Structure 1
């Protein structure tokens, strides 16, 4: 797996944690392709603007929680699989955990499929 893919995933996680709207938009533009789609158990949106609104809404609903990368980033061909946790800084137990699967378009995410672990739903 390339360092480029790991950096992409780290930047994707940073999108969800960045509270500054301007910096967050720069990350979104760096991470997602123009024809991006995001799908998880609660939402299905298309386009960078829709992803930005989704992130803003989650941050407003859960202002004290932060995402972190969990485990290894696995990649082959144009697909990437990685785990994450959502927790308050310093918390012993995460509020949620899950796995995301991304389909790439070159060096950006074209599709992101998010899965929340069942115990967390």
Structure 2
């Protein structure tokens, strides 16, 4: 069985989308009125940790393993998805929207930085 770069890119894109959806779900959980403060803080922390994973580990690993072209593609895909998620949450959940927008900006900056190389 031969695995091509496009197969790996598709798999990494799927994993990134899955992680972004998980972050959005956790963000929704954190935004709901929860009487238990510990649960809310855990959801916030988990969302932040997953955002860092998406921003640094996954994209960085793909860049190291394959090429900056693949990483830029994933960064673009992630930024578009996160921008869409942030736009949907802008009114009701300002804090979550700003976190998602911040990650989208970081991904776009990563993409810009790798273009220069």
Higher strand residue share: 1
TM-based fold match above 0.5: no
TM-score by length of 2: 0.29
Structure ID, larger Rg:
2
Higher helix residue share: 2
TM-score by length of 1: 0.28
